[in-house]
Amino acid sequence: MTILVTGAAGFIGFHLCRRLVELGYNVAALDSFNNYYDTSLKDARAARLDLEYGVFVKKMDIADPDAMKSALRDSGAEVVVHLAAQAGVRYSIEQPFTYERSNLQGHLSVLEACRHAQKIKHLIYASSSSVYGERPASGFAFREDDPVDAPVSLYAATKRAGELMSYTYAHLYQIPQTGLRFFTVYGPWGRPDMAYFSFTRRILRGEPIELYGEGQMQRDFTYIDDVVSGVIKIIDCPPAAGKQRVLNIGASNPRSLQNFVDIIERNCAREAVRVIRSMQPGDVTATWADVSRLRALVDYTPSTTLEEGLEKFVDWYRSFYDDTGAIR
């Protein structure tokens, strides 16, 4: 079976493509290679996919509906894993129209391509834990049936809009769909805009790091291998035709930002210079995934602890970058 992956030169897409090839799937790969972060990292991921896995990542903007239709038709794919999106909560405040094109027009373009392909067995797409918004401290994990009508960032709003568009297309055109609400994915080959990446870089350089929310924010940090495992398991478990569902995918073990930095310090063998800041616009106090629905469907069981995952990331970072932060 052929699977089309959008955002294939991105963090999750790169790891997913590698694992799909290892499992014997044919993979068609698309990415826009935009410059939201250093494109040399995307280029390196794409080169690794091409040289080691035989997957060529075609440069294409998924928000171009004609190009997207052609790419899906030419691939012959029966399953689409749509990961391409403009990421970043804070960047959505600075560049809102980028999110309109990538996350709204882009998502709609993928839906239209699937509609016209007429043989798509399953469309899996990336949503986000951000759709839950700011939650009061309740002692309970986020469930898929919790209210999601109060996003606190434009990024979150576009991800929720994608879920609603998918519901409509599933209903109108009988396209089985699964939206995965990812919870703070981290690991080797990760995104430089993420906290664990920038903290590691700055600690190794002896530069101060900024801890927002007075360092008390909590995140459900989820290791990349556990995420990829969940995505692959759900591929062969589509909902019925005409149905769309959303599922949490996370570690279900929130940790504080201070504890997070403690672990990075130990792996870097250096102490961080911590600068405490207040909350930034668009941020939320905590995230925590209830994964009982995904576990019931496909026996999803994340197995990588934060300590293990951050050790693997720091080891990768030191092998990939030199002391100045340049790629080796």
Where in the chain are the domains?
A: 2-186+222-251+288-302
Residues forming a β-bridge with 322: none
What pLDDT is recorded for position 139?
73
| Residue 206, token pair as written in the block | 């002896």
**Measured between alpha carbons, how far is 234 from 19 in angstroms, rounded to an integer?**
14
Give the pairing of strands 255-256 and 218-219.
antiparallel
Q: Is residue 42 a contact partner of residue 84, using CB atoms and an 8 Å limit?
A: no
Buried b (16+ CB within 10 A) or exposed e, 72-104: beebebebbbbbbbbbbbebbeeeeebbbebbb
What pLDDT is recorded for position 102?
96
Residues forming a β-bridge with 186: 223
Query: What sign results for the dihedral spanned by CA atoms 172, 173, 177, 183?
Result: negative
**Measured between alpha carbons, how far is 66 from 82 in angstroms, rounded to an integer?**
17
| Residue 54, token pair as written in the block | 């035989």
Which residue type does 276 have?
Answer: I
What pLDDT is recorded for position 181?
98
What pLDDT is recorded for position 138?
64
**Measured between alpha carbons, how far is 109 from 121 in angstroms, rounded to an integer?**
18
Topology of the domain comprising 2-186+222-251+288-302: Rossmann fold (3.40.50)
Q: Is residue 29 a contact partner of residue 58, using CB atoms and an 8 Å limit?
A: yes
Q: Is residue 234 a contact partner of residue 247, using CB atoms and an 8 Å limit?
A: yes
Q: Is residue 154 a contact partner of residue 93, using CB atoms and an 8 Å limit?
A: yes
Buried b (16+ CB within 10 A) or exposed e, 219-235: bbbbbbbbbbbbbbebb
Q: Which residues are catalytic?
A: 155
Buried b (16+ CB within 10 A) or exposed e, 105-123: bbbbbbbbbbbebeebebb
Q: Is residue 62 a contact partner of residue 68, using CB atoms and an 8 Å limit?
A: yes
**Measured between alpha carbons, how far is 228 from 248 in angstroms, rounded to an integer?**
13
Helix then strand count (H, E) for the chain reads 12, 13
How far is the CA of 71 from the CAs of 32, 51, 74, 235, in angstroms?
Answer: 13, 22, 5, 20
**Which of 210, 219, 214 minimizes the C-alpha distance to 253?**
219
Residues forming a β-bridge with 255: 219
- From first CA to last CA, the distance across the chain in angstroms is 36
Residues forming a β-bridge with 263: none
Rg (CA), the chain: 19
**Which of 161, 11, 7 minimizes the C-alpha distance to 84?**
7
Q: Is residue 253 a contact partner of residue 102, using CB atoms and an 8 Å limit?
A: no
Q: Average pLDDT across each block of 10 residues of the chain; the chain has 328 residues. List them in order.
A: 97 98 98 94 97 98 98 97 93 92 98 94 97 81 95 95 98 97 98 95 94 86 98 97 96 94 96 90 90 97 97 97 83
